[in-house]
Structure 1
């Protein structure tokens, strides 16, 4: 059975894709078989991993998980042990389907949890709906990514409402929080960071500052630990990924 991880938050621009892709790179380096399911309509995780910048124009990716009796159309990547069910512009149609996709998600939970991979990593869109709730139903770990800004924090209650509803079915879901894109020189962000600490405490498992080499690494289709000159920064990201993946170094 694979280890299933969903990176989520209904707010966009908080670094969900950055975390999901770095988890995929780290998982690939273990030698295990890795699947990334990209439920985001922008398809950025798919672009970074496949290096196909037009992949988000094509149907037939992540939504196929909900189709019964079909072979899943995995897309290859330059890494032999990493496959993608890609994100694309038409995934929003899932949010408006008449069929109750959450009921389908519950029905296929055992199938998803027995996919022939060692790791399955879900990237999710910046909107509440079945593309967030379904991976939460299937996963072992939810990484809730938040930036210490008012616009990011105000949506957390809705996200946690979804998580609590999902946990009625997926009782073992482990929810952890990552503070990302933190500008420590900002007094306002420091105040919001302290508010997060007071409210969530031990649920916060990592903190990442806003650093240009992280985004630059993805633009070059590489993880930060093999791209940045700052080795301390690279180790920080790699150690975090290995800890979430339960990799013993």
Structure 2
């Protein structure tokens, strides 16, 4: 049985709430006593910024881990959230693909780093991916047990989802046959919008139990939180978005219990 759970948070489409989900799900899991690590694999570094890690203080980054220069423990930084650490990102990641494109192990750099004893000390490791399917996302999927997909409640959602599921199938066939769909999280839900209601209905019909019951609402407080370098759950615990992420964390843990019992 796996000592920890490594979850890639991915969607090829930008602006669907990937990083917001990574930050707030990690915070919610940490708040209930789990030891959690985020690995920021997006050169923009929004997960690092959103957890209050100043760019000047990022002496080492996920780039150093992927290149094999440093271990997870050497790079991971503590955040203001107890039990939550992050391997931050820097713009160095932009050169990663070009530097190792000829290496035979190019898709497995992160898997190797995450299979060390120090990485198994975390209960959950969340991998925050860039909004594209590149070598960084491939490394995340090759190194993870499962993929969690944030999906915006909007017109093109299902089209993007089918592309992502094709990508997961491709990764299964080539580099990680055990990769599973952890679940689909519906984000930016507006109950007043008929289209949003229709998207929820369509996605649930299409994917059934894979879709989490929790709907993450559009919420101003959640949008504001990163500019203060805080997860929404620390910025405003009582807002609808924070409450939804706490509920999502509870669902994730329940599913993990069921999976382990199976």
- State how far apart, in whole Å, the 2-side matches of 1:215 and 1:101 are: 39
1:121 equivalent to 2:123? Answer no
Aligned to 2:5: 3
In the TM superposition, 1:92-103 aligns within 5 A as 92-99=94-101, 103=105
The TM-score normalised by the length of structure 1 is 0.83
Query: Is the alpha carbon distance of 1:51 and 1:174 closer, same or farther for their aligned partners in structure 2, counting shifts above 3 Å?
Result: same
Query: Are 2:8 and 2:146, in contact at CA under 8 Å, matched by a contact in 1?
Result: yes
1:207 equivalent to 2:187? Answer no
Aligned to 1:185: 192
Query: Are 1:12 and 1:126, in contact at CA under 8 Å, matched by a contact in 2?
Result: yes
Query: Is the alpha carbon distance of 1:100 and 1:122 closer, same or farther for their aligned partners in structure 2, counting shifts above 3 Å?
Result: farther
Q: Alpha-carbon deviation of 1:198? A: 2.2
The TM-score normalised by the length of structure 2 is 0.79
In the TM superposition, 1:1-249 aligns within 5 A as 1-52=3-54, 54=55, 60-68=60-68, 70-71=70-71, 72-79=74-81, 81-99=83-101, 103-106=105-108, 109=111, 111-114=113-116, 115=119, 116-168=121-173, 169-205=176-212, 206-228=214-236, 230=238, 234-245=242-253
Query: Are 1:2 and 1:120, in contact at CA under 8 Å, matched by a contact in 2?
Result: yes
Query: Is the alpha carbon distance of 1:97 and 1:160 closer, same or farther for their aligned partners in structure 2, counting shifts above 3 Å?
Result: farther
Q: Alpha-carbon deviation of 1:109? A: 2.5
- State how far apart, in whole Å, the 2-side matches of 1:49 and 1:59 are: 16
Query: Are 2:157 and 2:199, in contact at CA under 8 Å, matched by a contact in 1?
Result: no
Q: Secondary structure at the match of 1:175?
A: strand
Query: Is the alpha carbon distance of 1:79 and 1:154 closer, same or farther for their aligned partners in structure 2, counting shifts above 3 Å?
Result: same
Q: Secondary structure at the match of 1:128?
A: coil
- State how far apart, in whole Å, the 2-side matches of 1:185 and 1:101 are: 51
Q: Alpha-carbon deviation of 1:101? A: 6.6
Q: Alpha-carbon deviation of 1:35? A: 1.8
Q: Alpha-carbon deviation of 1:21? A: 0.3
Q: Secondary structure at the match of 2:170?
A: helix
Structure 1: state its 5+ residue gaps: none
Query: Is the alpha carbon distance of 1:74 and 1:163 closer, same or farther for their aligned partners in structure 2, counting shifts above 3 Å?
Result: same
What count of residue pairs does the alignment treat as equivalent? 246
